[in-house]
Structure 1
Amino acid sequence: TTINPVIPNEAKRSQLAYNLLDKEASSPSSHSIPFRPTKGKGHHDISRQLLNHPTNDDLSAIMSNPLETEPGSERFGDYEAELKLVQADLVQKLDQIPELSGEPRKAALSSAERALEEADELLAQMRLEKANIPTTLRSKINARFRNHESDIDAHKRKLRSLADDRAALFGARYTDNPSGSGQDVQLEQRQQLLSGTDRLDRSTQRLKASQALANETEGIGAGILGDLHTQRETIMHTQSRLLESEGYVDRSVKTLRGMARRMATNRVITISIITILVLLIVAVIYSKFR
């Protein structure tokens, strides 16, 4: 199954859960204690309950009780819910592999490898979504993400151990005749080629999504540069207007200073004329009474 780097939807998770329910219904080991989501437990505690031995009740519970998400982490929660379903499917496959032999064992190993690849892709999408989560929720989200990474690493180690056991027992237990070894090698090479083709397709989809995101980012950057250019022109125009206004203010100051000097001169002249007139009047009066 190819996981495209888009928001996981409810229909996709429902289909995966129903597939797990069908597998569980046909499995003779589906009588473990059902999962009961306990109020107050964290998401990782719930996932531990679910991933130990998923049953019908477990998968029904995860479909009817979706993960609680804080505002701003909805997409991370969607990816996390899908990852839990993939992990539940992976745990079932890993538990079945030791009981298988021959071609069914190789097919189960290949299926488990594909499930691990899907889990890695979901972890990559969750890692990208962490950057968009508010800072107040970042520590809680990081803790949950690290728990999921440790779970996936444990599954990888278990699958690697099972694959090594298969390689050690391949010739002695799974091969009935010498001529069959060549067919087994060809089948193994064919499965590796198909797995490589699937990985290449998924990588192509991720590259296309990254290219689309880069193009969108480039468009946003070009728009921002255009806005900055417009703002620069506005600032330059405002600066020229300010310089022009400063020139007008300087001329106005000079005019006011000239008017002040003329007013002072006129005041001195007026006082001088009044003084002369007063002196003339006093002189006339003095000469008249003399």
Structure 2
Amino acid sequence: MATLIDNYEQQYAVLTADITAKIGRISVLNGSEKRPFIQDVDRELEEAQELLEQMELEVRGVSGAGRDRLRGRVESHRAELKRLTQEFETAKKPKSEIVDLGLEESWNNGITEEQRKRLLDASERVDRTGRTLQNGYRMVLETEEIGTQVLKDLHDQRETIQRSRGRLRDTDAELGRGSRLLSGMILRALQQRLILAVVTLVLISMGCFVIYYSFKS
């Protein structure tokens, strides 16, 4: 339960930090330049209100001494949201209608020490979240660099394999030509041996025939 509330508080801290930044932009812009920021802040204030309602629902389900502590945290967030809403309403007004409200004095009078401590804790959580995101982004860049190098190595290996295949095909073709040449040479040698055997047989036959008739006569 507390973990869920902590998650809601982290989302709330990030959201209110963005709201604060946009209110600062609204206060220095004029006319139509304010409109998109005003629309964004209206939407984010509604989201922040919904997060507070979710936190209150979760607090109701908590029993024991921790319930009062969580309720105090939610009240601190609600006071902060009220302050942001007031600042937003003031920032929306034309500059000619804005009166110096003594922001420092309003801050000191409108927020208790406990609420200020909660706001500082929320700010620290936002900073930690930002550092975590930066570390994650750096890891993504490093992983992308490693992946690029691996792809380059694989590409080089693929080219090496393709060149080796080409050499193997050429070698195979040379071996094929050599095998055909050797087969032709063997065939011609066999033919010559056959012719020599036939000639030898004819000569032997003729010699026998001559010798036979010599003795006969």
TM (norm. structure 1) is 0.39
Amino acid across the alignment from 2:111? Q
Q: In the alignment, which residue of structure 1 is the partner of 2:131? A: 205
CA 201–286 in structure 1, closer or farther in 2 if over 3 Å, else same: same
Q: CA deviation at 1:185?
A: 5.2
- Over 3 Å counting, the alpha-carbon distance change for 1:286 and 1:166 in structure 2 is closer
2:178 is equivalent to residue 272 of structure 1:
no
| Equivalent AA in structure 2 for residue 262 of structure 1 | R
Q: 2:111 maps to what in 1?
A: 186
Alpha-carbon distance between aligned partners in 1 of 2:165 and 2:65, rounded to the nearest angstrom: 69
Instruction: Give 5+ residue unaligned stretches, structure 2.
Output: 1-5, 11-61, 74-106
Q: In structure 2, what is the equivalent of residue 243 of structure 1?
A: 169
Change (3 A) 1:239 1:164: closer
Cα 1:235–1:196 change in 2 (3 A) is same
For 1:204 and 1:284, the matched residues in 2 are separated by: 118
- Aligned partners of 1:164 and 1:237: how far apart in 2? 69
Structure 2 CA distance for aligned equivalents of residues 166 and 260 of structure 1: 104
Alignment of 1:163 onto 2:69: yes
Aligned-partner Cα distance in 2 for 1:159–1:225? 57
TM-score, normalised with respect to structure 2: 0.51
Amino acid at match of 1:245: T
Q: Which residue of 2 aligns with 1:261?
A: 187
**Letter aligned with residue 157 of structure 2:** Q
How far the C-alpha of 1:204 sits from its partner, in A, is 1.2
| 1:284 is the counterpart of 2:210 | yes
Residue 211 to residue 189, structure 1, CA distance change in 2 (3 Å): same
Structure 2 CA distance, aligned partners of 1:219 and 1:273? 81
Change over 3 Å in CA distance of 1:271–1:195 after alignment to 2: same
CA distance in structure 2 between the aligned counterparts of 1:165 and 1:192, rounded to whole angstroms: 12
Any idea what SS the aligned residue of 2:171 has? helix
- 1:125-150: CA deviations, max 9, x gaps? xxxxxxxxxxxxxxxxxxxxxxxxxx
Pairwise CA distance, 1:200:
1.3
Q: Name the structure 2 match of 1:47.
A: none
C-alpha RMSD of matched pairs (Å): 3.7
User: Percent sequence identity over matched residues?
Assistant: 30
Q: Give the drift of 1:196.
A: 2.4
Inter-partner Cα distance in structure 2 for 1:190 and 1:161:
20
Q: Which has the higher contact order (CA 8 A, sep 6+)?
A: 2
Change (3 A) 1:288 1:184: same
Aligned length: 130
Counting only pairs closer than 5 Å after superposition, residues 72-221 of structure 1 correspond to structure 2 as: 157=62, 160-163=66-69, 186-187=111-112, 189-221=115-147
CA 269–231 in structure 1, closer or farther in 2 if over 3 Å, else same: same
Look up the equivalent residue of 1:186 and give its one-letter code.
I
Counterpart residue number, 1:130: none
Flag the 1:159–1:213 CA change in 2: closer, same or farther, 3 A. Answer: farther
Greater Rg over alpha carbons, structure = 2
Structure 1: unaligned runs, 5 residues or longer: 1-112, 118-156, 168-181
- Which residue identity is paired with 2:124? D
Aligned to 1:231: 157
Task: Report the CA distance between 1:159 and its aligned residue.
Answer: 7.0
Q: CA deviation at 1:284?
A: 1.2
In structure 1, give the amino acid aligned to 2:68. Answer: L
Aligned equivalents of 2:68 and 2:181: distance in 1? 98
